[in-house]
Structure formats: C-alpha cells, structure tokens
Structure 1
Amino acid sequence: MKVIISADPIKYPLTGIGRYTYELASRLNKSPEISELLFLRGRSLSHQIPALGKNTSVSRSNSGIKKWVQSNPLATEMYRLTAPWLKTFAIRKHPDAIYHGPNFYLPPHVDRCVATFHDLSVFTWPQCHPAERVRFMQKELLLTVKRASILITDSEFTRKELASYFNLPLSKVYTAQLASSGEFYPRDMAAINQAVQKYGLKANHYCLFTGSIEPRKNIATLLDAYERLPLALRLDCPLVISGFKGWSSVALHQRFTQAQAAGWLRYLGYADALDLPYLFAGARSFLFPSLYEGFGLPVLEAMASGIPVVCSNSSSLPEVVGDCALMCAPLDVESLTGLIQKSIEDDIWRGQAIINGINRAKQFSWQRCAQETIHAYQQV
C-alpha cells in the first residue's frame, strides 16, 4: 500500500495528537505492508518524518498567525474553506495512495481516505471548548464523516460513541489504541532527582498532573480535593501541575499562584519533553480527574513509569487503566480527596498498583497501534 499521512500535528510543542502521529508514522515507515509512505506538511510532500526539535522562530511565527486567525471569524472561515483544498491539490499526483488525516480533518475530493477521531468532545462537551473552536471543528468534522472511507478511534469507547452519535455502522469505525512512549519507564532515584531538582522537586515527594490548563481537564476539582488534604501532607507532597496555558484558565492560574504561595503547589508550565519522563517516574502518584477523554494517554504513561494512578471513572479512562487505578466520579471532591490520600499513604496498595500498572501498560504498544491502523487501511 502507498500511504500519505498528514504530518501537521508533528510540531513544537508536541501535543498528544502530535505524539500519536509521530509514533504511528515511525512504525508505518518500517512496515513491509507499506510500499511507500509520504508525509504531507502544509502543502509540501516528503519521504522524511518531520523532526521533533524545537524551532523557536517558526513556532512563534505560526503561533501569532494562528491566534490572529482564531480571533477573526472571517479569517477562520476563509482558512476553513481554503486550507483543505490546498492539501487536495498537493496530493492530486498520487491518486493511488490512501490519505490518512491523524488529526480529525480530511481534504475534499480524495477517493481513498481515513481519518482518526480522537474524541467527540466538540459535540458532546462543547462547553469545554472555546466557541470559535466548536464552530470550526463541528463544521469540519461533519465533512470528515462524509468524506472518510474508514474512521479510526483511539479507544473502543470512542468507537462506539462515534458510531452512535453519527448513526454509522460499526463496520466503518476501527479502533487502534495508543501506547506510551518508550521513554516512560521506572527510573533510578538518583537520575530522577538530578532531573527534577531544577524544578525544586524531590523524587517521591510530589503528586503530578499533566495536561493543558482548560476546563475539560477538571483541574478546579483537583485543586478543591487537594486543598482538603492535611496541610502537613500537602507541604511534604505538593501538587505539581505541568501543561501549557489553555483557554478559560485565568481563575485557575490565580489559584495556582495562591497555592504556590502557601507552599503546596508547583506550576511548571510546559515542561521540557526530555524532563517529562523523569517528572512522571519521580511522582508519588499521578492524578487525572478529567471530565472526558478519547483515550487518556497520560494515565498510560504514568503506569508505564511505575507510578500509581488516581483518575476519574469517565469516558475511556476505565478502558485504559482496567483495575489498576483508584477511580471516582469526576466531580466528587470528597471521594477524590480520599483516593489521593490513599495513593500517597497506603504502601500496600501502592506496591500492588505499581506492579499492576506496569503490566497493564505493556499490553499497549505502538506496533500494535500501527498494525490495527494498517488493518483499517486494508478495508479501504
């Protein structure tokens, strides 16, 4: 098979979808079932996977343009209408290829195409996104559903939700579960301390949350729950939050500042990708009370790192963690506080959770994700 995959998500800072695209492309690139693999970035085709390195000038330039487009309704609509056609023109010389959009979107008039739907939150949780994002994505994703020969989801939960929401036959939707990067595994305590000391942290003496600072991640509930812990416990084991600033987060950042002044929270912003595996491996426990996830890659990364997990029992998260995590309803502050305290203090549970989590994480692999994706291609 000849495949063209959109490489636009592979950019700094690398989001979850960017990581998915990079890891999948790396495996597809080595698959004997793929005769030729091309990468479409913007309007340019290449046989090379884009590098993961940070290009500050390009990142700042693109960020400025992106913000201007997003804030201007006319520019947003013009972009929505023209950008897909530019991709159509770029790949028109390869009519024999399967085109894969790993980030929801598909260009028009492509005969054989596949798209990955990571979640349905712009339809089912629109209140958790900026209004302009909801308008843009709802229009485009409705077109994607119509254009796609086959759709791929990250989880069985999302597969069933997608088919039900759009009244699609399940035979049109395939699951290719994600995996954690090979960089996430239990690490030596001395190496962890060397990596995290620049953040003022000590291994095994903090709880970690990673993710963008936005409403869907339910960080306000996490702060409410953590604040209920005994002060001595919070000071000895502060909450560490790592993630870039999302939308509707001003009030959260004010609470971060207050909690930092009180000594029980550290906000790191967007942590360097090289440091992130050490931040995971050094955490006492990983906390992820998200309202809704299409997969929930951070909980898998935590389990692979040998870290106990506390998460919500919503959407796809139970599918990922199995019986290896402590779970409660996303908005149940009192229960969340109790589970966090248990994850810090209950050594017997912690020891078993670490073993179970490592074994659970091994059941997911990027090679398996690639094979399941190739199986979806074969239906096209």
Structure 2
Amino acid sequence: MKLLFDLNSLRPPRSGIGYYTQHLLEGLREQSDVEDVAGWVGSSVYSGTSLTDLMTDQTSLPAAAQFSDGLKARLLRKSRGLPGLYRMRTIVRHHASRALRRDFGRRGYIYHETNFIASPYKGPMVVTVHDLSHRRHPEFHPRVAVDYLDRGLPRTLRHAQTIIADSIYTRNEILEIYGVPEEKVVPIYLGVEPSFQPYSEEVCAPALQALGLRRQGFVLSVCTLQPRKNLHRLVEAFAALPAEMRQAYPLLLIGAEGWKNSTLMQSIRSLARVGQIATPGYVSRSTLLQLYASAAVFAYPSLYEGFGLPVAEAMASGVPVLTSNVTSMPEVAAGAALEVNPYSVEEITSGLERLLSDAPLRAELVAKGLRRAAELTWESTVKQTLNVYRALAA
C-alpha cells in the first residue's frame, strides 16, 4: 500500500490534529505492507528522510497564525472574520498541490485527510472527522469557520470511501446529521503518547519553579481558550470554592488564546491579581508533561468533545480527573473520572471541592485512570486505521 497525507496540520504550534497526523505517520511507516508514506505542504512533497525531518523538527514549516496580545491579536481576529477568507486559503492550497495530487492518484496512493476537509482527489480516499461541534454549537466558532465546514464537509463525506470518527459518539453524530451509510463510518479511538506518564518531583521541578507552583498544589486545565471548553463556568465554579482552598490550589489554564473569550479573560483578572489563577498560554511539550504529572486535579468540564484527548492524557499522567457527563467524555473516561453536569456551576464547584478534599477518592481515580489510559494507545489507533486502508486496497 502507498499512502498520502496533507501535512498542513503539522505546522507549529502543533495542535491535537497535528499530533494525530504525526502519530499515524510514525506508526504506518513501520508496517511491512506499507510501501510508501508521503505528503505535501503547498507544492512540496515530503517522503522518506524529508518526511522524518518534517515530523521531528517543528521549525521546518512556517508557523500557523496564532492569537496573541495587543495590536497583532486584534488584527488577526478581524482578518479571520473576513468573508471568503477560509475559502480563499483553500483555493490557494488546492492550486499549489493540484499537480502532485494528480500524480499520486495516478500512482495508486490512498489519500487520508486527517483534518475534516479533503482536497479533490481521483483515487481512494479516507477522511477523519474529529467532531461536529460546528453543527451542534455553531455559536462556539467564528462564523467563517462554520461556513467553511458547512460548505466543504458534505462534499468530503460524499467522496470519501471511508470516514473515521474519533469515538462512537462522533460516529453516531455523523450518521444522524449527514445520513451517510452506516458501513461507511468507522469509530477508532485516539491514543495517548507514552511520554504522558507519572513523573517524579525532581523531573517536574523546572516547570513548577518557572510558574511558582508546588507539586500537587494546583488545579490544571489544558485547552485552547474558546467557548466550547466551558472555561467561564470552570472559573466561576473555582471562584465559589472556599478562599483558603483557592489559595492552596490555584487554577492553571494552559493553552493558546482562542476566540470569543473576552468575558472569560475579564472574569480571570481579579483572581489572577491575588495569585489564584494563572494563564501562561501555550507551553512547550516538556513543560506540559511536567505540569500534567504535577497537578492535584485535572479539570475538563467541556461542553462538547468528539473524543477529549486531554482527559486520557491526564489519566495517563497519574492525575485524578473531573470532566463532563455529556458527549464523548463518559465514553473516553469509562468510569475512571468524576463526571459532572458541565452546565451546572454548582456541580463543577462541588466536584472540585470533593476531589481536593478527599485523598482516598483521588487515589482511587488515579489508579482507575492509569488502567483506562493504558487501553488507549497509538499502536491500536494505527492498527485499526491500517485495516481501513487494507479494506480499500483489497
């Protein structure tokens, strides 16, 4: 088999879809019946050594535009709201890669689009759909992004021979909303990197010292700061905890600044001034691993997830997890987390207080979480994805 990927998701800073793509590439290249794995960015083709270099060196591609503070952030937000922006970017990318896609199609490559919208391709095609939040909760996203997905995703789902969903929940969403044949949609869970594991206090010291934190002395949440992640309710719930508990266990929000979060940032300020909330933004992978392994509690009361990989990463890191009882989160946690109604600030507050004050419960969830996370491996993800390709190649 010969496999082809759009590698734009590998642009730094690498997001969840970027790491999904990377782990697939790494695992597939080790399979005996995979003759070649190739991909493109613009008009450039990557295979063999050049693909290895691209996967391991995140500086080899220009960074994707990111929100930041000040004038640059304001200009970026305005530009992302321009009508036709996503469509124009898509047209430019399709034009740059048109000739090479035709060549790969003639040579019998199976094209796997890992990021929702596939480029036109005359050959067997697989697409991964990670969630359908743009349909269930369009209010959580920039309008241009919703329009882009509404236009492009139905076409992609029609043309793809197989659709991979991150969970059974997402598979059911695809079937209900788009009415595609049941046999066309395959649920394949994501995996957890082996680097997410419990680490000693000595290993975690650099990250803790840099942020002025103590081991098992803070509540951690990791996500892009956007409405779907329900951070405004998490912050409100945290603010309702007893003052001494907030002081002993400050809330650490890790992630790039996203969109529609001005109200969230305002609510954070008063608690940040007294050292009870910190928002360091996007952090390095090594720092992230140390923070996961050092938290007292991982809080992820998201309103909608197609999988919820941070929940699995936290469990693998040996941290008790509080998460939502909706969408895919119960499926991923499989009874190894404390689940709450994410629309209830009172339930989130109660859950946080219970975990922070109940050491036996934390220990129980840590043990259950480690066992559950061990079942979610990238090796399994690659193996099941390879079976999809084999069925197409047969």
Given the alignment of the two structures, is residue 250 of structure 1 paired with residue 254 of structure 2, yes or no?
Answer: no
Query: RMSD over aligned Cα, in angstroms?
Result: 2.0
Match runs of 1:111-130 below 5 Å: 111-130=123-142
- Please list the CA deviations of residues 113-139 of structure 1 after superposition, one character each: whole Å capped at 9, or x if unmatched: 111000011111111101111111211
Asked if the contact 2:142–2:259 (Cα under 8 Å) also holds between the matched residues in 1, the reply is: yes
Give a deviation string over 1:171-216, Cα, whole Å, max 9, x none: 1011221111111100101221233210111110001000000100
TM-score, normalised relative to structure 1: 0.95
1:244 partner SS: coil
* Structure 1 residue 58, shift from structure 2 partner: 2.8
**1:352: how far off?**
1.1
Distance across 1 between alignment mates of 2:308 and 2:110: 28
- Per-residue CA deviations over 1:125-162 (Å, capped at 9, x if unaligned) read 11110111111121111211122111111111111111
Residue 90 (structure 1) aligned to one of 84, 91, 100: 100
Deviation (angstroms), 1:52: 4.4
Residue of structure 2 in register with 1:51 after alignment: 55
AA matched with 1:316: S
Q: CA deviation at 1:81?
A: 3.7
More off after superposition, 321-330 vs 252-261: 252-261
Residue in structure 2 matched with residue 195 of structure 1 by the alignment:
207
Indicate the SS of the match to 1:339: helix
Segments of structure 2 that go 5 or more residues without pairing to the other structure are none
- Pick from 169, 177, 182: which aligns with 2:189? 177
The equivalent of 2:11 in structure 1 is 11
Shift of 1:87: 3.1
Q: Which residue of 2 aligns with 1:39?
A: 39
1:77 deviation in Å? 3.0
Determine which of 71, 79, 99 is the counterpart of 2:89.
Answer: 79
Query: Which letter does structure 1 place at the counterpart of 2:327?
Result: S
* TM-score normalised by structure 2 residue count: 0.92
- Structure 1 gap segments, 5+ residues each: none
CA deviation vs aligned residue, 1:80-133 (integer Å, no higher than 9, x gap): 344335434222112201001000121124221111000011111111101111
SS, match of residue 182 in structure 1: coil
For residues 183 and 354 of structure 1, do their structure 2 counterparts lie closer, same or farther at Cα, with a shift above 3 Å needed?
same
Q: Percent identity?
A: 30
Q: Report the alpha carbon displacement of residue 60 of structure 1 after superposing the two structures with TM.
A: 7.0
1:107-256 alignment, distance < 5 Å: 107-256=119-268
Using a 3 Å threshold, how does the CA distance of structure 1 residues 62 and 209 change in structure 2: closer, same or farther?
closer
Determine the structure 1 residue equivalent to 2:379. Answer: 367
| Alignment: residue pair count | 380
Query: Cα distance 1:4–1:56, how it changes in 2: closer, same or farther (>3 A)?
Result: closer
